[in-house]
């Protein structure tokens, strides 16, 4: 693994850093308080090519490798995890999955719009009664007529990032009688389909500016051409998306931890107690050191995943390791930074409280920390504990 960034990767990172400083950082507190990111940010992300990274240029993408994608995701996570989530889901979970599993017509219909920001995607897997047990979905799609007929979908999804903004849902539903994951298929469902209702979820602990929703499907009709990948292979589609998605979450967590380190270092150098800056006190230095080590370790684990993907090597277990460590590290880093700030860290005039709130969900979605441990344990032992 080469740890030296190319000129192109360095330029992409700088572009993302400049974008965060100009378009995100000045608005973070207001967006968090309002529980609403300015939707205009989507077109700006598309104009810079951030919504098309790793997608082939022939479909409107901006190309590039997965390390460049991680660098952008990290910078967005450093700025505002609510914005990072827009990219991680619309590009990382939806557009990349269409590029990998879609037929030519599906790619031509959706990828140019998703990569430009003209359309947004969301990932419809989690249900009110089904979180970690993703193979036990209750949402069902049945044929209307014989083979080749439309599908009629009924069910509900929850905690759907981009849910109220999205133009298309990559939706997973049970299509066959087989138990567990074997009877699940994937569909591309336009959000303006009759019978599809979206309800925004408010009052979240973190990611408050992100559009998170519950989706209710009541007799939603889609043509047979809406199925993504083969019938009955929806679980494979979902797991392939989540494996790469875990790398994206890990990169965003590196950004949170880096932001925590930056904020804590700045404050520790300015705040004086006992006649000197608190950076000169041993136990404050311990807090800063712990954050710095977590940042570096999480970043290297994440970059390893990107390197493996770009070289066509197996990466699923490594993605779980990166997601597990980086998400837990982001919580530790933000918590340690808040400790450096003391009481000032507890009010939203300062950034570390929001970092802690945003970090906490990273250990839950796209596979909880416990699920990551089971994935890693299965790889180590050859025995599934699911």
Q: Which residues are catalytic?
A: 366
Chain center to CA of 145:
37
Q: Look up residue 225 and give its two tokens.
A: 């051409």
DSSP at 146: S
Q: Is 377 exposed, middle or buried (0-12, 13-18, 19+ CB in 10 A)?
A: middle
Q: State the Cα–Cα distance between residues 190 and 171, nearest whole angstrom.
A: 10
Q: How many Å from the N-terminal Cα to the C-terminal Cα in the chain?
A: 32
Closest CA to 166 of 219, 113, 202, 208: 113
Q: State the Cα–Cα distance between residues 373 and 109, nearest whole angstrom.
A: 38
* CB neighbourhood size of 164 (10 A): 17
* CB neighbourhood size of 274 (10 A): 8
Q: State the Cα–Cα distance between residues 292 and 11, nearest whole angstrom.
A: 24
HSE-up (13 A, CA, CB side) for residue 36: 7
Q: Look up residue 245 and give its two tokens.
A: 């998605």
Full DSSP string of 345-383: GGSTTSSHHHHHHHHHGGGTTTS-HHHHHHHHHHHHHS-
């Amino acid at each position: 693994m080469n740890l030296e960034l190319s000129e192109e990767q360095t330029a992409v990172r700088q572009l993302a850093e400049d974008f965060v400083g100009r378009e995100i950082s000045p608005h973070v507190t207001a967006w968090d308080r309002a529980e609403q990111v300015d939707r205009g940010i989507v077109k700006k992300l598309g104009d810079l090519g951030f919504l098309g990274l790793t997608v082939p240029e022939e479909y409107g993408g901006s190309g590039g490798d997965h390390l460049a994608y991680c660098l952008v995701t990290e910078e967005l996570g450093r700025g505002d995890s609510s914005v990072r989530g827009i990219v991680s889901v619309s590009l990382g979970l939806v557009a990349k999955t269409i590029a990998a599993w879609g037929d030519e017509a599906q790619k031509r219909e959706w990828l140019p719009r998703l990569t430009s920001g003209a359309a947004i995607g969301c990932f419809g897997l989690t249900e009110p009664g089904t979180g970690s047990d993703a193979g036990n979905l209750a949402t069902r799609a049945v044929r209307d007529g014989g083979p080749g007929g439309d599908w009629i979908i009924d069910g509900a999804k929850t905690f759907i990032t981009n849910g109220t903004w999205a133009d298309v849902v990559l939706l997973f539903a049970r299509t066959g009688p087989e138990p567990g994951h074997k009877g699940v298929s994937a569909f591309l469902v336009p959000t303006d389909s009759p019978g599809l209702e979206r309800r925004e979820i408010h009052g979240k602990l973190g990611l408050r500016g992100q559009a998170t929703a519950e989706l209710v499907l009541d007799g939603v009709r889609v043509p047979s051409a809406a199925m993504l990948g083969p019938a009955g292979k929806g679980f494979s589609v979902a797991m392939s998306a989540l494996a790469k998605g875990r790398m994206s979450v890990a990169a965003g967590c590196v950004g949170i931890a880096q932001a925590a380190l930056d904020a804590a270092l700045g404050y520790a150098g300015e705040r004086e107690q006992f006649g000197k800056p608190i950076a000169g006190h041993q136990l404050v230095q311990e807090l800063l050191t712990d954050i710095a080590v977590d940042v570096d370790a999480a970043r290297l684990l994440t970059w390893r995943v990107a390197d493996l993907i770009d070289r066509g090597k197996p990466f699923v277990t490594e993605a779980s390791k990166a997601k597990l460590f980086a998400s837990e590290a982001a919580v530790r880093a933000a918590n340690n930074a808040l400790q450096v700030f003391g009481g000032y860290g507890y009010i939203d005039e300062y950034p570390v409280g929001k970092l802690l709130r945003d970090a906490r969900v990273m250990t839950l979605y796209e596979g909880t920390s416990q699920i990551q441990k089971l994935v890693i344990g299965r790889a180590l032992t050859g025995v599934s504990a699911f």
